[in-house]
Amino acid sequence: MDPAPQNPEIKLDDDDYPAYTMGRAAEILGTTPAFLRSLGEARLIEPQRSSGGHRRYSRYQLRLAARARELVDQGTALEAACRIIILEDQLQEALRINAELRRHD
């Protein structure tokens, strides 16, 4: 387990900090732990592991999982939903970088 942080607010604001257990993540998303495991198997999200080996999810990963659930609920196959989300995420990052580069011109 991590030692106590110097400034706990830093971790609270970190979208990548693995703050949620699998059970809590499934509860937040209104899904099952099996759905979260299937997202890991499809390589959409790879949860970090606690020192005891339990899966831990970040807010960023929960947003991706929520989007996957939305697509699957609309009838999209899981593998296709994961690919869509990866492409959406890549596009968002490219747009962010483009905007940043334009600010520096």
The CA distances from residue 14 to 8, 17, 27, 69, 74, in Å, are 10, 5, 21, 23, 30
Q: How many Å apart are CA 10 and CA 8, to the nearest integer?
A: 5
pLDDT mean for each 10 residues of the chain (105 residues): 55 84 96 96 93 94 96 97 96 96 89
- What confidence score (pLDDT) does residue 105 get? 75
Extents of the domains making up the chain: 8-103
Kindly state the tokens that stand for 91: 């596009």
- What confidence score (pLDDT) does residue 14 get? 84
At CA 56, angle to CA 54 and CA 59, rounded to 5?
A: 170
Dihedral sign, CA of 47, 64, 36, 42? Answer: negative
- What confidence score (pLDDT) does residue 58 get? 95
Q: How many Å apart are CA 73 and CA 75, to the nearest integer?
A: 5
Domain at 8-103: CATH architecture: Orthogonal Bundle (1.10)
- What confidence score (pLDDT) does residue 65 get? 97
3-state percent helix, strand, coil for the chain, nearest multiple of 5: 60, 5, 30
